[in-house]
Amino acid sequence: MPDSGIVKYLVKLRFEVDGVVERADLIGAIFGQTEGLFGPEMNLNELQKSWKVGRIEINLESKNDKTFGEVLVPMSTDINTAALIAAAVESVDKVGPCSARVWLDAIDDVRATKRKAIVDRAKTIIKDWSSRTTSEGENLLKDVADSTKRAKVINYGIENLPAGPGVYTSDLVYLVEGRADVVLFLRAGIENVVALEGTSVPDSIIELGRKKRLVAILDGDRGGDLIEKELEQVVKVEKVIRAPHGKEVEDLTPMEVIQMIKGEAPHRGYRPEREERAERAERPERAAPARERAAEPVVEKVREIFPSINGTLEAIVLDESLKETGRFPISELVQKIESNAGARYLVFDGIITQRLIDSAVRAGVKGVLGHRIGDLRNVPQDLQVETFRDIGLE
């Protein structure tokens, strides 16, 4: 087909000649026999010079002393002129000395054909795009769905201990007491966990401690105390974190588990009353009740803010005039307290540790109040260290 870049119509004609002729003979017959029929402006030569008729293509074949084929005339005129030229070419009845017959096969609207090709291509593009977009959407939905699927409890070691799949891949493994604790950790998105399943430490856990870092997350009761002592004797544990007093780990929410793990200090577990009395006796520097040591304005301020901080795992910093100058998660407390120049009193929802005491002293803090007091080795005489129970809040 000729170049149809500027073509509007393509006139298609068929011909048959009684004899053997060449393309040049047929071209000569077409131009010669149509010349002057409708005036000079309608001659094919003139129309070609003005680019209204393109290059005429002829496809022919000779057989049995006959020549037949097709004539293609590309035109950029209106349909009326195209029809007139088609009729003029049909009038050709001789090619050289041979009789000939020419008839119109079709007049194709090239623009319509081009439009159809464009529309068909557009449909293909839309179909491909829609298919690809659907696939991408399905993949995205699958990715989201997969991310929300909880890992399943697996068995670890020769004892078939309940565990999460991360016990094999993570350098740090959390030790918990039972299967329910493992399920809770998986709900919280923590897969590097394994259960002890009893107070006796399994051989698989002892072997695990030789290859990986271990952190124990134990209940805040007498059973947690027993397991902690057992772990200290047979396996190296990097840290022991205890659930709040009287609570089991499985009673916590996934968010509470995450907060407990991120917390600076472990929760203190269950301790019999006789052990509490013995511990208080070993700390003579705290023998005096808080109400006799802390100034009444400080006590009143602590009572005022206690409801807003209790159970939040947060800390509040007060200045000399007992105005709040900061409030932070206890996991950031040591860092924040040392950068707070005006800090004078620290009230927080956690355990008072030696590390916190050292930071408070360096920051010029006068008093620290928390839920419980850990094992303190060095407390300055001029630093008030009290619990909420000491001032009648628990």
Domains parsed from the chain with CATH numbers:
9-112 (3.30.70.2690), 154-271 (3.40.1360.10), 280-387 (3.40.140.20)
pTM of the model: 0.36
Tens digit of pLDDT for each residue in 60-110?
999 888 999 999 999 888 888 888 888 988 989 888 889 999 999 999 888
Can you give the pLDDT at residue 16? Answer: 92
Can you give the pLDDT at residue 114? Answer: 82
Instruction: Please give the full DSSP string across 276-314, using - where no structure is assigned.
Output: HHHHHHT-GGG-S-HHHHS-HHHHHHHHHHHHHHTTTTE
SS3 content of the chain, % helix, strand, coil (to 5): 40, 25, 35
Listed as ranges, residues in the chain with pLDDT below 70 are 1-5, 131-150, 264-294, 394
Pick from 301, 318, 394: nearest CA to 363: 318
Cα Dmax for the chain: 138
Residue 159, φ and ψ in degrees, nearest 5: -85, 0
Report the distance separating Cα 101 and Cα 94, nearest Å: 8
Can you give the pLDDT at residue 290? Answer: 38
Instruction: Please give the full DSSP string across 245-257, using - where no structure is assigned.
Output: TT--GGGS-HHHH
Pick from 338, 289, 292: nearest CA to 317: 338
Can you give the pLDDT at residue 329? Answer: 86
Name the token pair of 167: 């016990």
Can you give the pLDDT at residue 168? Answer: 92
